[in-house]
Amino acid sequence: MKNVEERIGYTFKNPKLLETALTHSSYANECKKESNERLEFLGDSVLSIIISDYIFRKLKATDEGRLSKYRATLVCEHSLSKVAKRISLNKFIRLGKGEEMTGGRERPSIVSDAFEAVLASIYLDGGIEIARKWVINLMRDSIDDVIMGYGYTDYKTMLQEALQKGDKGKVTYRTVLETGQDHNKTFEVEVLVDNVPQNRGKGHNKKEAEQNAAHIALRNIGKK
């Protein structure tokens, strides 16, 4: 379990919690082990309160309806599986032979459940404050993206996926212009496909400019 602890950035006092958190029911049934289902149940609630508390404090002027929408986007299977895969958590899940053979390691439902189970195990092992810091550290970029509106439509991912279906593939971005005062800057970013410049997008930060550049590129290829 030491490799897993190094990858997720937390050392357990009780490693058995982590072992259980990474045990899918298919493996548990085959090997007579406890599955991560109970931990996933707890982790779902812990995650909800952590994200709710964070965005409630961060977005003081945001109404209940929008806060609920932000939270729902952040805790959905797709969002959590992306975060989990960034730390390679899916590589450490213990799966039964059937699930392994049918691509269970990449299935968002399995990966997101494991993420919630690991969160629950950290909460039980170290307490709510350590669990909160772990989650926010991993999800801060996702939270910022959702607040800016990109949790609903991630044009950069859409562009990459659209191009992978054709002959082209490598998408990169470079900042070509930065104007304005420090408190009110405007960034202009160019999107390149296989190192060939395509178009530019503007925004109040680099992420926004990149998303806008990707959006324009998608429209140009008739995908958005």
Q: State the Cα angle at 215 between 211 and 219, rounded to 5°.
A: 170
Token pair listed for 31:
């090997």
DSSP for residue 82: H
Q: How far apart are CA 80 and CA 127, in angstroms?
A: 21
Out of 99, 113, 116, 208, the active site residue is 116
Let me know if 44 is a catalytic residue: yes
Q: Side-chain half-sphere of 75: how many Cα atoms within 13 Å?
A: 21
Out of 44, 100, 154, 188, the active site residue is 44
Helices (H), 108-165: 108-126, 128-147, 155-164
Let me know if 188 is a catalytic residue: no
Q: Is 161 exposed, middle or buried (0-12, 13-18, 19+ CB in 10 A)?
A: exposed
Residue with tokens 């929008």: 66
Q: How far apart are CA 221 and CA 224, in angstroms?
A: 8
Token pair listed for 117:
């189970």
Residues annotated as catalytic (active site), given as ranges: 44, 116
